[in-house]
Amino acid sequence: METLTFLFEGLSIAIQPLNLMWVTIGGILGTLIGMLPGLGPATGVAVLLPMTFVLGPQASLITMAGVYYGAMYGGSRSSILINTPGAGAAVAATFDGYPMTLKGRAEAALAISAIASFIGGIIATIIMIAVALPVARFALHFGPAEYFMLFVFALSATASMSKGDTIKGFIATVLGLMISSIGIDGQSGVKRFTFGVLELEAGIDFLVVIIAVYALGEVFKSFRGIAEGTKKAQTKFGRIWITREDWRRSMWPILRSAPFGFFIGALPGAGGTMAALLSYSNERQLSKHPEEFGEGAIEGVAAPESANNAASVGAMIPMLTLGIPGSGTTAVMMGALLMLGLQPGPMLFQQQSTIVWTLIASMFFGNIILAFVNIPMAGALVRVLAVPPKILYPIVMGLAFVGTFAISYSLVDFYLLIIFGIVGFFMAKAQIPTTPLILAVIVGNSMEQSFRRAYTIADGDLGIFFGSPLAITLFVLTALSIFGPMVANAVRARRAVQAA
Amino acid sequence: MTITMISGVMALGIGITFTIMAFRLPDASIGIPFAPRVFPAGLGILMTTLAILQIAKETIRIGQTEGSTTRDRDPYMRKILLSCVFAFVYAMLFERIGYVLSTIFFLETELWLFNGRENWKTNTLVAVIFSVAVYVLFSQALGVYLPRTPGIWI
């Protein structure tokens, strides 16, 4: 009942014309950015974020959520039309979406991807409404020691589940935590790692690191892609819609994949990409015609699209209720919340309930608007794929700089932007995942604060981190998240040897 | 040396430097004196350990697959380096000559790298339109201060 009251309050604010306008603008911009290969939701939110600050917390968050979902919708447009996922989570849409285009069924593929994304998003939002308050209430039981262990678990799960090998994932995490420890220590006033630079005393702004890694780093990486040339996309379409038979085949996969995607999205480290890939392989196993998968089966587009949109909503749960982002994009959004003076976590639901519920309510409208934007207007939107990236990437760079300046009005941040852009590029080259770095930079401060609080309460006794059943459970989960994949790999390798 | 090895060595350098610096941090005047040191020192030690693991793993890998130690040079490295140089120049010019002029310069150079010298007409058009449009959007519509060119209204 209480939830419904909050929800109606949120709905009444989110439906105000101005807020609907922001979610629409955000959604369209996000769709356009999401379509561009290499630029995903995280980059979209990072580049556009400084512009939304002037709007005030509520409008800013709504716009960013629009950008986020828009990018999720848009990412699959380029998967379907040019076989290049616009964002990681859209990779599964290339498996059957592109074969559909080759067979002259691009219209059906575009339509089902938007329909599946819409249904997935709506179902996930409903689940979110049901679970948000209970999770936030449960989180109130966490003391500083439990919170610290929760951070350890979330970070190690992200590190070990990210692409590439586990050690590299952890190196990225520790580097991120190191960056966050630069500046004056909030509890004691001791200056740490400032090298005498006055501007570093306030710490390195995580938004600068985010924009550097997601915008500059991506642009640096794109030099190679540009030389390889761009593919031409189909821009003339018939009616973008599906047949009754298409719907009959896709309905259950869409409905099944939504809750599944939500759950995967809510887990730390596992994001939209994993949700989409897992739901694709699930559907192939469940299908009566598994041989059609990869050849243009419509449910092969529907299931992952539903799952990845649901995952993007699910990823908001740990971010909003616990203050722990589960993906790169939610990390960026959490950065934005912190910048706006809102501390995500259980207290957010108590102190800023209107903002939270408006954001949740705007997810409904956002999904409806995006479905409209993406089905009738798909033909017009995909024209952006014809704009040469050679011109777009420099523009993204230009936006990254002006955005950085708008955050702090400090030129030192320009130099930091360039330095971290190079760091991001180098990490990508060395196949070190960047998501764990971003997550660590953002939660680093809260993580150390909870460590210090627990440490002070226990008067320097580290035993407090194993002092409660909850803390021990989290410790066990951490160990499982690190060693589980290793053991699984070893078992698989052994089986392969035995089979050979 | 492979890129993984280089990253391992760099991580080792960062880990050791960070650990030493963490232990040399001053005491806190309130509470537990060494409290500000514990977390960073832990990070430094963790990074050092991870770097050693990474180097060891890579050494074993190289030993197993001999002859794969040649490093492929990125043919785009020159462009990326130039990109960074122009960005540094941009940062230096930004407040001195104002947002619009410095951004035209920056975009012109970046477009030169991406789009090629022969398309200078398009490049200039994009650079000028972007710079002026962003200036108007930020300083007029969004109320964000952007440095002006001395002596000119923009």
Three-class secondary structure assignment of A332-401: HHHHHHHHCCCCCCHHHHHHCHHHHHHHHHHHHHHHHHHHHHHCCCHHHHHHHHHCCHHHHHHHHHHHHH
Decide if B35 and A455 are in contact by the 8 Å CB cutoff: yes
Give yes or no for a contact between A333 and A319, defined as CB atoms under 8 angstroms apart. yes
Decide if A398 and B103 are in contact by the 8 Å CB cutoff: yes
Q: How far is CA B62 from CA A169, B53, B58, in A?
A: 20, 14, 6
pLDDT of res. A228: 60
Q: How far is B66 from chain A (nearest CA, A)?
A: 20
Give the whole-angstrom CA distance, residue A387 versus residue A32.
Answer: 11
Decide if A451 and B39 are in contact by the 8 Å CB cutoff: yes
Decide if B106 and A398 are in contact by the 8 Å CB cutoff: yes
Q: How far is CA B136 from CA A26, A50, A57, A244, A410, in A?
A: 20, 15, 23, 50, 20
pLDDT of res. A423: 94
CB nearest to B43's CB, from A181, A399, A432: A181
pLDDT of res. B32: 81
pLDDT of res. B91: 94
Nearest-CA neighbor of A417 among A207, A183, A224? A207
CB nearest to A391's CB, from B74, B79, B111: B111
pLDDT, tens digit (0-9, with 9 covering 90-100), for A262-301: 999 988 767 788 899 899 999 998 888 888 899 999 999 9
CB nearest to B36's CB, from A51, A192, A220: A192
Give the whole-angstrom CA distance, residue A496 versus residue A481.
Answer: 23
Sign of the alpha-carbon dihedral angle for A331, A336, A341, A347? negative
Decide if B28 and A401 are in contact by the 8 Å CB cutoff: no
Q: How far is B22 from chain A (nearest CA, A)?
A: 8
CB nearest to A414's CB, from B7, B26, B91: B91
Decide if A54 and B28 are in contact by the 8 Å CB cutoff: no
Chain A residue with CA closest to B84: the answer is A418
Q: Where are the domains of chain A?
A: 2-490
pLDDT per residue of chain B (154 residues) written in tens, 0 to 9: 788 899 999 999 999 999 999 999 888 877 788 888 899 999 999 999 999 999 999 999 888 876 555 555 667 888 899 999 999 999 999 999 999 999 999 999 999 998 888 889 999 999 999 999 999 888 887 778 889 887 776 6
Q: Taking the CB of residue A235, how many other CB atoms lie within 10 A of it?
A: 12
CB nearest to B95's CB, from A51, A399, A411: A411
Torsion of CA A253, A254, A259, A260, to 10 degrees: 50
Task: Show Cβ contacts of residue B121 under 8 Å, excluding neighbours closer than 6 positions.
Answer: none
pLDDT of res. A476: 94
Decide if B79 and A460 are in contact by the 8 Å CB cutoff: no
Give yes or no for a contact between A129 and A2, defined as CB atoms under 8 angstroms apart. no
Torsion of CA A412, A417, A422, A428, to 10 degrees: 150
Decide if A455 and B47 are in contact by the 8 Å CB cutoff: no
ipTM: 0.92
Mutation site, B17, B32, B74, B83, interface A, largest A CB count within 10 A: B83
Give yes or no for a contact between A370 and A312, defined as CB atoms under 8 angstroms apart. no
Give yes or no for a contact between A392 and A398, defined as CB atoms under 8 angstroms apart. no
Q: How far is A297 from chain B (nearest CA, A)?
A: 38
Spell out which residues of chain B touch residue A414, defining contact as CB-CB under 8 Å: 87, 90-91, 94
Spell out which residues of chain B touch residue A432, defining contact as CB-CB under 8 Å: 7
Give the whole-angstrom CA distance, residue A205 versus residue A442.
Answer: 9
Below-50 pLDDT ranges, chain A: none
CB nearest to A174's CB, from B50, B80, B94: B50
Task: Show Cβ contacts of residue A47 under 8 Å, excluding neighbours closer than 6 positions.
Answer: A33, A211, A214, A215, A396, A399, A400, A403
pLDDT of res. B73: 64
Give the whole-angstrom CA distance, residue A417 versus residue A215.
Answer: 10
pLDDT of res. A141: 86
Q: How far is A73 from chain B (nearest CA, A)?
A: 27
Decide if B38 and A181 are in contact by the 8 Å CB cutoff: no
Mutation site, B114, B120, B122, B146, interface A, largest A CB count within 10 A: B114
